[in-house]
Amino acid sequence: MKHKHLRFGVGFKVIFGNRRMQAAQMVLEPGDQEGDAGNKHQGADQWLFVVSGTGKATIGRKAYALRPNTLLLIEQNEKHEIRCTGRTPLKTLNFYSPPAYTPAGEERTAGRRSS
């Protein structure tokens, strides 16, 4: 069993995971974005839950409003960008299945699992 109290500092941080799934937190300051038109996770689905703040997710060519309690599924290989559009930081909790990042936050290549 793993347990952690989240503090939501600035940026992206892997929290923990196992061989099948991984959790990470992300904080974007007003005007900041994560990803771009070519950003995608080749080997993992991403579940993004908005804890606080407002923003916009662009998945492919569609835009979706982000606000507290929004849950979004970004499937593997879907190109996406997350942007903070509000006056306060956008804080999200993200789950990747299978894990998409190393514990240090480096993106894994498709098909590589964590231990």
Instruction: State pLDDT tens for residues 16-55.
Output: 999 999 999 999 999 999 988 788 888 899 999 999 999 9
Q: What is the pLDDT of residue 61?
A: 92
Amino acid identity for residue 71 in this structure: L
In whole angstroms, give the CA distance from residue 94 to residue 115.
19
Q: What is the pLDDT of residue 115?
A: 45
Q: Is the pLDDT reported for residue 113 higher than 80?
A: no
Q: Which residues contact 89 (CB under 8 A, 6 or more apart)?
A: 10, 27, 28, 29, 30, 52, 53
The structure's pTM equals: 0.90
Domains with residue ranges and CATH for the chain: 23-94 (2.60.120.10)
Instruction: State pLDDT tens for residues 78-99.
Output: 999 999 999 999 999 999 999 9
